[in-house]
């Protein structure tokens, strides 16, 4: 038992990724052999990953940064995994939120997918989560590119798996645009490798300081390509065109994980590259932070504006994601202690909120089949639990105190003042009002609106299974808990920010 414990402790960085990959390979075998085991095994993989995350968190909090060398090859040659506070923050977010989405999916998939593909869904889902975890902990450029490709392909898979016309079109659009994004990233990896000779983040960062004097143009082009690639993948405003279709037409659990986690992981990877790899002098050569700030505020503004005019509830939530990813980039662009804390904290907070909102939209579609916002009048009386948690999510989106959305917005606001850019405080305030305009009418109409007399309002409401209501309740409780007691998450985030 102790040897097993030692093995797990020493190797949890590799095992956490390998668990997801191995279980996802096993799913197609189980599909033809023991079909009803697939969901259980997928959940088991997540529980194992949570266990490894717990061990890693304990190691990082007691002994500091954990590194792991693949195949015992030391860093300049081999692939290195580095787990610091920031990675622990991302790992916790990914494993917890994706476990809750998966529990919801076990019931919802039978309703949305054909029976013969439902176990393939778990393959793609586990591959996606494994790739995101790999992206969170890798310290190697090429490894990062490989994980980005795995994540892109499996994300396309979980959109297109529904096999109707809209889904296939949306996932094709996503495939093309994300291929452009990863292509940009690969090209800029090649550029950096050309001037530094290293693929490891730490070694490349060291070599970039003298290289900046010799080859400034190469490094500037690399920075531009990285920015373009990651902004496409993270769907910031001018390059967001793939997101609304992809996130609204996909099955609800897919929308929840894509909006809640997948776009965030690219913002996180971009932040890591900007702060850890590129030398500080480059930011005096090109105003990259100001550009990020402008793009982020455009994203916040136009995302909300587009969301107001949507009629489909999932499409509205998808546009709201564009606005919310703007907050994360706003935190990156402010580049001071409070701003980064707010931006990074918003990754976790928005993962909780948006996953919950998409899942509750999925629950409404599961029970009634309604997608149109106008038809949701009076639905609160029929489905009090779902609309109740939706109301919590809506309040958190607006940033009302006692919800976690307030905490991250507060830190972002403090960050704008610290940076001496009060204009962006105005952006945050205006965006909160815009959020009120499109979220609150839904909640108010659902609880207080009188349903019309048309026959379509008498749709029979299916009962919500326990597997679908429990994740919703846990996520809503999480939103309130981290709104009232934000200290635990803030300690982690502040330590993560302190290393920059």
Residues that bind other proteins (CB under 8 A): 7, 11, 14-15, 18, 21-22, 25-29, 31-32, 68-72, 114, 116
State the CB neighbour count (10 A cutoff) for residue 423: 9
66: which strand partners? 83
Q: How far apart are CA 348 and CA 385, in angstroms?
A: 23
DSSP 8-state code for residue 260: I
- Which pairing describes strands 80-83 and 66-69: parallel, antiparallel, or unpaired? antiparallel
Which residues, 6+ apart, have CB-to-CB distance to 336 below 8 Å?
Answer: 415, 418, 419
- To the nearest whole angstrom, how small is the minimum distance from the Cβ of residue 153 to other proteins? 13
The residue among 138, 173, 174 whose CA lies nearest residue 155 is 174
Judged by beta carbon, residue 33 or residue 423, the one nearer other proteins is 33
For residue 94, the minimal CB distance to other proteins (Å) is 20
Indicate the residue among 64 and 71 with the shorter CB distance to other proteins. 71
Which CB sits closer to other proteins, 18 or 305?
18
Cβ at position 75, least distance to other proteins in Å: 13
Pick between residue 139 and residue 360 the one whose CB is nearest to other proteins: 139
DSSP annotation of 377 reads T
Give 69 or 276: the residue with its C-beta nearer to other proteins. Answer: 69
**In Å, what is the CA distance from 431 to each residue of 202, 339, 406?**
38, 17, 13
Other beta carbons within 10 angstroms of residue 463's beta carbon come to: 8
Whichever of 56 and 355 has its CB closer to other proteins, that residue is: 56
Identify which of residues 69 and 173 has a Cβ nearer to other proteins in the complex: 69
CB 449, min distance to other proteins, A: 42
For the bound state, the minimum distance from the C-beta of residue 102 to other proteins, rounded and expressed in Å, comes to 20
Alpha carbon 90 to chain centroid, angstroms: 9
Judged by beta carbon, residue 78 or residue 216, the one nearer other proteins is 78
Q: By C-beta, is 3 or 63 nearer to other proteins?
A: 3
Which of 289, 340, 348 has the alpha carbon at shortest distance from 324?
A: 348
- Give me the phi and psi of 450, to 5 degrees please: -90, 125
CB of residue 189 to other proteins, shortest distance in Å: 21
Answer whether 260's CB lies under 8 Å from 349's CB. no
Q: How far is the CB of 15 from other proteins (least distance, A)?
A: 8
Query: In this complex, which beta carbon is closest to other proteins, that of residue 28 or of residue 183?
Result: 28
Min dist CB 262 to other proteins, Å, is: 22
Q: Write the DSSP assignment of 51-117 as a string of letters.
A: HHHHHHHHHHHHH--EEEEGGG--TTTS-EEEE-HHHHHHHHHHHHHHHHHHHHHHHHHHHHS-GGG
Q: Under DSSP, is residue 455 helix (H, G, I), strand (E, B) or coil?
A: helix
Q: At closest approach, how far in Å is the CB of 16 from other proteins?
A: 11
Instruction: Assign 3-state DSSP to the chain and report helix, strand, coil percentages, each to 5.
Output: 85, 5, 15
Smallest gap from residue 17 Cβ to other proteins (A): 9
Q: How far is the CB of 119 from other proteins (least distance, A)?
A: 11
Taken in order 413, 417, 418, 423, the sign of the CA dihedral is: positive
Tell me which DSSP letter residue 199 carries: -
What element of type H or E holds 396? helix 384-398
Q: From CA 325, how far away is CA 327, in angstroms rounded?
A: 5
Instruction: Compute the least distance from the CB of residue 163 to other proteins, in Å.
Output: 9
What's the CA gap between 292 and 297, in Å, rounded? 9
Contact 368, 462 (CB under 8 A): yes
Nearest CB to other proteins, comparing residues 52 and 438: 52
CB atoms within 10 A of CB 458: 9
**Of 29 and 491, CB closest to other proteins:** 29
Q: Is 125 left (phi over 0), alpha (psi -120 to 50) or beta?
A: alpha
């Amino acid at each position: 038992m102790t040897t097993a414990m030692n093995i797990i402790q020493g190797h949890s960085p590799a095992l956490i990724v390998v668990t997801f990959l191995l279980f996802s390979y096993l799913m197609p075998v189980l599909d033809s052999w023991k079909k009803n085991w697939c969901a259980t095994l997928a959940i088991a993989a997540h529980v194992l990953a949570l266990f490894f995350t717990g061990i890693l968190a304990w190691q990082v909090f007691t002994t500091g940064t954990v590194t792991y060398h693949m195949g015992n090859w030391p860093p300049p040659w081999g692939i290195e995994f580095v787990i610091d506070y920031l990675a622990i923050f991302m790992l916790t977010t990914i494993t917890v939120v994706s476990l809750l989405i998966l529990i919801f999916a076990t019931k919802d998939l039978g309703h949305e997918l054909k029976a013969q593909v439902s176990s393939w869904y778990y393959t793609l889902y586990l591959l996606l989560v494994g790739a995101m975890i790999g992206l969170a902990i890798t310290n190697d450029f090429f490894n990062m590119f490989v994980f980005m490709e795995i994540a892109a392909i499996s994300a396309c898979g979980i959109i297109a798996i529904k096999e109707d016309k809209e889904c296939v079109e949306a996932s094709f659009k996503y495939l093309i645009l994300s291929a452009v994004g990863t292509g940009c990233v690969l090209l800029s990896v090649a550029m950096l490798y050309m001037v530094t000779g290293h693929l490891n983040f730490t070694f490349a960062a060291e070599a970039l300081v003298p290289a900046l004097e010799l080859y400034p143009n190469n490094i500037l082009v690399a920075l531009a390509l990285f920015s373009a690639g990651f902004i496409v993948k993270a769907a910031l405003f001018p390059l967001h065109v793939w997101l609304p279709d992809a996130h609204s037409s996909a099955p609800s659990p897919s929308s929840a994980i894509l909006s809640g986690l997948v776009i965030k992981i690219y913002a996180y990877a971009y932040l890591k590259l900007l702060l850890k790899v590129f030398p500080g002098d480059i930011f005096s050569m090109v105003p990259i932070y100001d550009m990020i700030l402008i793009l982020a505020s455009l994203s916040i503004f136009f995302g909300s504006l587009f969301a107001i005019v949507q009629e489909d509830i999932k499409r509205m939530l998808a546009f709201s994601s564009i606005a919310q990813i703007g907050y994360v980039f706003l935190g990156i662009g402010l580049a001071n202690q409070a701003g980064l804390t707010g931006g990074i904290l918003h990754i976790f907070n928005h993962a909780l909120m948006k996953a919950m909102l998409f899942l509750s939209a999925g629950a409404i579609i599961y029970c009634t089949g309604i997608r149109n916002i106008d038809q949701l009048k009076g639905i609160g009386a029929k489905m009090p639990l779902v609309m109740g948690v939706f109301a919590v999510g809506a309040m958190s989106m607006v940033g009302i105190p006692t919800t976690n959305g307030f905490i991250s917005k507060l830190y972002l606001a403090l960050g704008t003042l610290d940076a001496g850019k009060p204009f962006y405080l105005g952006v945050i305030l205006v965006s909160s009002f815009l959020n009120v305009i499109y979220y609150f009418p839904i909640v108010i109409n659902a609880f207080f609106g009188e349903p019309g007399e048309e026959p379509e309002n008498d749709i029979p409401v299916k009962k919500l299974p326990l597997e679908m209501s429990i994740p919703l309740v846990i996520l809503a409780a999480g939103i309130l808990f981290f709104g009232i007691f934000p200290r635990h998450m803030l300690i982690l985030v502040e330590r993560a920010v302190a290393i920059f």
